[in-house]
Amino acid sequence: MTTLTPDSPPAERLPEIIRRLRQVHPDARCALDHRNAFELLVATILSAQCTDERVNQVTPALFARYPTPAAMAAADRGELEEAIRPTGFYRNKARHIQEAAQRIAHDFGGEVPASMEALTTLPGVARKTANVVLGVAYGLAEGIVVDTHVARLANRLGLSRQTDPNKIEQDLMAITPREEWIDLAHLLIFHGRRVCTARKPDCPNCVLNDLCPSAVL
């Protein structure tokens, strides 16, 4: 059996990285509260430059008032802006949410589309948001969600040397079995929040420190 080291190729280290992360983060999942694909889409748009906790504080009242794409599409823009104001960048987010809701209501029969091609035609929906909806709401592994946590950990763990999220995603997809694409993002996000934080990674207490080229012990 080959002994893994921080210098081992990423593809060789990744299965053990995933195994260990599953052990320490058995609760890794999407942290955005939602009941369906539409709620998840809206919550994901709201989560840009905002914590999931803050989004979860806003969405219960938002979805009670606008429970469907048709209701959101018909909302008064000013009232919608006020409802999501705590999430920041509320004018742009309100415009994207409402225009996406209009497209879903009018062009997709009120159902959030379940393909990358269709999702990324919606206002405010780029590849990351589409990956969240496809993976979490529909169980479809069309890609790997690359948010700030995933990007940071992919670099620190030496899984990618890229800085562009789309290129990081391609690097991760190349070394990760497709059946692990959805879970990998959740695991890296939870580890990034709890252990490998942006400002002060807790390397001495990290289960990956003997596999990480960036570990400081």
The rounded Cα 148 to chain-centroid distance in angstroms is 9
Residues in the chain: 217
Could you say which of 138, 164, 194 is where a domain stops?
Answer: 138
- For the chain, how many structural domains are there in total? 2
| Domain extent at residue 88 | 37-138
129-178 pLDDT tens trace = 999 999 999 999 999 999 999 999 999 999 999 999 999 999 999 999 99
Show pLDDT as tens, one digit a residue, over the chain (217 residues): 579 999 999 999 999 999 999 999 999 999 999 999 999 999 999 999 999 999 999 999 999 999 999 999 999 999 999 999 999 999 999 999 999 999 999 999 999 999 999 999 999 999 999 999 999 999 999 999 999 999 999 999 999 999 999 999 999 999 999 999 999 999 999 999 999 999 999 999 999 999 999 999 8
Tell the residue number behind the tokens 């580890």, with chain if given: 191
Taking residue 152's Cβ as centre, other Cβ atoms within 10 Å add up to 18
Residue 131 and residue 157 in one domain: no
- Is 133 within the bounds of a domain? yes
Residue 18 and residue 50 in one domain: no
Residue 34 CA to residue 111 CA, distance in Å, equals 15
**Residues sharing a CB contact under 8 Å with residue 55, sequence separation 6 or more, in sequence order:** 32, 43, 46, 47, 87
Catalytic positions are 128, 147
The CATH number linked to 53 is: 1.10.340.30
- Report the predicted TM-score, pTM, of the whole model to 2 decimal places: 0.95
DSSP sequence for 43-97: HHHHTTTS-HHHHHHHHHHHHHHS-SHHHHHTS-HHHHHHHHGGGSSHHHHHHHH
Residue 182 pLDDT:
98
- Is 175 within the bounds of a domain? yes
- Is 217 within the bounds of a domain? no
3-state secondary structure of 1: coil
Q: What's the chain's Rg over C-alpha atoms?
A: 19
The CATH number linked to 170 is: 1.10.1670.10
Residue 111 and residue 71 in one domain: yes
Residue 43 and residue 116 in one domain: yes
Residue 1 pLDDT:
57
**Residues sharing a CB contact under 8 Å with residue 83, sequence separation 6 or more, in sequence order:** 58, 61, 62, 65
Residue 41 and residue 113 in one domain: yes
